[in-house]
Amino acid sequence: MFGPRDMTEHILDRHLDADFYCAAAHDGAPSQRELLDLAQRYGCALPKDFLAHATGKLGGIYIEVKESAWPRPKENEVGPFWSFLYAVFVFGMSPEIPDWMNIELAAREFKETTGHSRIPCLKVVGDADFYVFDSEAKISQWRHETDEFEPFEGSFFDLLDQEVGELRKRKDRKLAGK
């Protein structure tokens, strides 16, 4: 009768500190029906844990390291790849969500540009690869250079935990000057 519990807040509490800024859907979160209709239009399925996240107050979340802790790279600046990955977000649906985070626009653009029917779910800012759901609600990472899908073994909350944890590690590495 009841679906999975939204673990987003638990994940954030475990990894984030005062060096992070977050924004989310709050009262603008979509209904399960809106998300299921979207998935149906693209021949995809959404896992129950993603539905719990996306319909909650922290759905469509954007997490970045504050610029005071991680100054943004300047134009034409070079550095190791990881040093440009200062934020992560979950695609969402909300009246206030920016277009670049809108799950419906992302699904449409992905279909138009690649021909694949997948629903984008999570992206690391600065990385051209991102995570998607397929017709069986399985998660994979789309590799833009090869146009291939690398399966992710785990749930949506496992993925969110992994990527927020990696963001924390990059932040700590940046502050340590390594």
Instruction: For residue range 112-133, list pLDDT tens digits in order.
Output: 999 999 999 999 999 999 999 9
User: Is the CB of residue 46 less than 8 Å from the CB of residue 39?
Assistant: yes
Q: What was the pLDDT predicted at 2?
A: 61
**Stretch 48-77: mean pLDDT:** 93
66 pLDDT band (50/70/90 cuts)? very high
| Helix extents (H) in 18-69 | 32-41, 48-54
Report the DSSP pairing between strands 139-143 and 20-23: unpaired
Distance (Å, whole) CA 63 – CA 130: 15
Distance (Å, whole) CA 75 – CA 77: 5
Q: What was the pLDDT predicted at 70?
A: 93
Per residue in 139-172, pLDDT (tens digit) is: 999 999 999 999 999 999 999 999 999 999 999 9
**Stretch 77-84: mean pLDDT:** 89
Distances (CA, A) of 95 to 1, 60, 92: 29, 11, 10
| Residue 129: CA count within 13 A, CB half-sphere | 14
Mean pLDDT of the chain: 94
Record the tokens describing residue 95, joined without a space: 């009246």
Question: Which residue in the block uniquely carries the two structure tokens 């999570």?
Answer: 122
Q: What was the pLDDT predicted at 144?
A: 97
Record the tokens describing residue 150, joined without a space: 């690398």
Starting at the edge strand that comes first in sequence, how are the strands of the sheet with 139-143 ordered? 20-23, 62-65, 87-90, 119-124, 130-133, 139-143, 148-151
3-class SS of residue 167:
helix
Q: What was the pLDDT predicted at 78?
A: 86
1 pLDDT band (50/70/90 cuts)? very low
- pLDDT at 69 > cutoff 60: yes
